[in-house]
Amino acid sequence: MIPVPGFEGRRVAVLGLGRSGLAALRALSAGGAEAVGWDDSPESRDRAQDAGMELRDLGARDGFEGVDRLIVSPGIPHLYPTPNRHVAAAMAAGVPVDNDIGLFFRSLGRGEWLRMDQPPRVVAVTGSNGKSTTAALIHHILTETGRPSQLAGNIGRGVLDIDPPQEGGVVVLELSSYQTELARALTPDIAVFTNLTPDHLDRHGGMGGYFAAKRRLFSEGGPDRAVIGVDEPEGRFLANQMAEAPEDDRLIRVSVEAKLSGPGWLVYARKGFLTEWRKGRQIASIDLRDIAGLPGAHNHQNACAAFAATRALGLSPRDIEAALNSFSGLPHRSQLVAEIDGVRFVNDSKATNADSAGKALQAFDRIRWIAGGLGKDGGIGSLAPYLGRVSKAYLIGHSARDFALALADVPHEVCGTMSEAVARAASEALPGDTVLLAPAAASFDQYPDFEKRGDDFVDRVRLLRG
């Protein structure tokens, strides 16, 4: 646990008693605060009480009397589309609002850290797609090369639940826009921006607000080094804002769409080869094509970002290359589940929007595509350039018929359920085909989250083996 100092004897309220909320309560109490929690769900309140947490009804008339700060869990809106009523009440009462990420960063650099010869470092990864794989890959590279590392934030453990990092250790954080938009302190040593595509637009009031939430990781205090994907206009703008001169190597530009040039620090992937340039000279080259855990151009982008971040931490290209080759990938992200009679079954349940599904479609040929769920604004029209790879689509969930209309002449079948889709795809697949779950939609019509959807796919595939 990371105890949170600075609130000794003061009352701090935590709204939302899921994983991060309970961790925040424990960390605040350990730091000497009078920590109280609230959740509108009776089940969540019961779990918190069973864990020994003190509750305070923030919806009561005097709910914020004597409260010095409100800590809000990531899923709770504070501005768009409308503020949560408790957050609105806190703001009306003048109570400052923060989240667990802000508490984490304000707690660093104190106590034991001041006496270390090599203080721990923090790498924070944000972006629309690939941030989980990039963060996990950085953690994997560090672990494989003998550097003590902890993975936390939106992946792994809650950020305040990790062990206090030791001398020379690294904390790798995956941060969503929900986490970066509200944190009052954001001071990583290295900040990584993978890419930006439309997502969560209702939560952020549009694309500009979404980008602004991501940009805060770089503007609120400023990292020592920034690794920025420059394949979208927003990434190029952010890179331009961070650099003081073309040769400023506090910035590492990353691309999988262009051969980068210039006097700065550059990492890009072309035709399956990762290349590093610095000060106009090539430093390293790595063949990514046969790394099973990193299929497709989107994973090559993740590899470039992880390579750049770990190079900024002082690791050698040779050590990074060896670690890349041992990376097995993450569940629900281009996860090879099985190969049965020459047919591959791949679980990319995390592809919850059209852009991430498009990246999955580009990674394979002869695809039996399982798609559908709770569709997002914009539908799947943007996937038209990749549909030539699809032999047939098997559509599930709420948006199955909308997807069917969008697919037009592409062979497709409305299956409704995962069970039916897997069975139909498996029965029609030929050796060399890939049965790919890349839904291009949220899961909440049929599953509580994308993990449960992916688990269902995996279970159905395993049943095929008998």
* Residue 233: partners with Cβ closer than 8 Å, 6 or more residues away: none
The verdict on whether residue 130 carries a ligand-binding annotation is yes
Alpha-carbon span 420 to 189, nearest angstrom: 48
The verdict on whether residue 127 carries a ligand-binding annotation is yes
In order, the DSSP letters of 118-181 are S--EEEEEE-SSSHHHHHHHHHHHHHHTT--EEEEESSSB-TTTSPPP-TT-EEEEE--HHHHT
The verdict on whether residue 154 carries a ligand-binding annotation is no
Alpha-carbon span 281 to 258, nearest angstrom: 17
E strands present in 379-440 = 390-396, 412-416, 434-437
The verdict on whether residue 209 carries a ligand-binding annotation is no
Type of residue found at 375: G
Alpha-carbon span 99 to 86, nearest angstrom: 14
The verdict on whether residue 417 carries a ligand-binding annotation is no
The verdict on whether residue 128 carries a ligand-binding annotation is yes
CA 101 to mean position of chain CA atoms: 14
* Residue 286: partners with Cβ closer than 8 Å, 6 or more residues away: 273, 274, 303, 307, 317, 320, 321, 324
Helix (H, G, I), strand (E, B) or coil at 367: strand
Would strands 121-126 and 190-193 be described as parallel, antiparallel, or unpaired? Answer: parallel
The verdict on whether residue 434 carries a ligand-binding annotation is no
**What are the φ and ψ backbone dihedral angles of 347, each rounded to 5 degrees?**
-100, 110
Mark the binding-site residues, compressed into ranges.
127-133
Mark the binding-site residues for ATP, compressed into ranges.
127-133
